[in-house]
Amino acid sequence: MTHAFSPQALVARVAPPTPLAAQGSFWVAVERVSRGEATQARGQMFVQYAIPSELRCPWPLVLVHGGGGQGTDYLITPDGRPGWAGFFLQQGYAVYVVDRPGHGRSPHDPQILGSMGPSPSFEVMEALFAFPERAPTYPQARLHDQWPAARADGLDVMDQLLAAMGPAAADLATAHAGMQRAGAALLDLIGPSILVTHSAGGPFGWVVADARPDLVKAIVAVEPLGPPFLDRGPAGGLAWGITAIPLTFDPPAAHAQDLDRVERPAPKPDLKPCLVQAEPARKLPRFAGIPIVVVTGEASWMAQDNHGTVDFLVQAGADAEHLWLEDHGVHGNGHMIMCEANSDAAAAVVDRWISRRVLGASGN
């Protein structure tokens, strides 16, 4: 029998570890609430950090997971390779990997945080993430070919993916408010940072930039939740365009209904028309000066409408651009880009963007 996860086997198949100056973990935004005679914790966010001995970038990356996932999405791929956290460590970035409130090591008590939606299923995750090309429901699905092999080192890859996933908060506005509170508390502790978000974690970047604009050096939004004004039924929707909670608009918007909407046609075939603000559009002044990039995989269902988020941001005065991985020689990616077979190649594209737009602009 091969002991694939013995110390000897693990050391033999990974690159030499990056020398670390510090590593550890903590929780932020621990709110004490009274329930009868008991005082309990609410809204906390788990943070795991690693600091390389030689820092290439003065600002850390805060890696924010999506959906019902957790920070492990960035620590290890489902087939056992080092994840984006390890990749960026090797490039000289400090990394802070979070478990958003109510996910992973940030426990969710429905009696404190409210109800949750259903847990994800193998059937849904296989259709959305692993094998959309088998029964295509959108045009780009036929291009998907980057899901890892079915088994790796004796473990089933889908087992590894689903084991990390749980239900998400049933109310989107509550989730976004929790992200803002916890994210602002984190940046108050660690200082200016680059936010790297994914999917349903995308609004983390928007709400934290609105709360702490001076502490957000850049936002890398990997297939963020959208398109603008998305309606998610009973869970609520992106009533404020890209978030479920208010942002600071100029002129001010007292209510979400103050944001007049108009449909913008799809920019090319196989893409969808998306809603933006009617002109003259309200601006997002706290986003001004923050470099933002939306990263999209070639074969993801979000390839159909990620452009809508970019359009909304640019219209609101943000310094936002759209990065299509296929334009940089990285092909076949679905929605879980950081978990796929070419995850390092995709991370390298993000690294080059940060070097060009953030480090280059600062002279570092």
CB of 332 closer than 8 Å to CB of 144:
yes
- Are the C-beta atoms of residues 269 and 307 closer than 8 Å to each other? no
Q: Active site residue: 106, 193, 199, 343, which one? A: 199
How many residues comprise the chain? Answer: 364
| CA–CA separation, 309 and 125 (whole Å) | 24
For residue 96, give the amino acid letter. Answer: Y
Please say if 34 is a catalytic residue: no
Task: Give a three-class secondary structure readout of the chain.
Answer: CCCCCCHHHHHHHCCCCCCEEEEEEEEECCEEEEECCEEEEECCEEEEEEEECCCCCCCCEEEECCCCCCCHHHHECCCCCECHHHHHHHCCCCEEEEECCCCCCCCCCHHHHCCECCCCCHHHHHHHHHCHHHCCCCHHHHHCCCCCCCEECCEEHHHHHHHCCCCCECCHHHHHHHHHHHHHHHHHHHCCEEEEEEHHHHHHHHHHHHHCHHHEEEEEEECCCCCCCCECHHHCECCCCCCCCCCCCECCCCCHHHCCEEEECCCCCCCCCEEEECCCCCECHHHCCCEEEEEECCCCHHHHCHHHHHHHHHHCCCEEEEEEHHHHCCCCCCCCHHHCCCHHHHHHHHHHHHHHHHHHHHCC
Catalytic residue set: 199
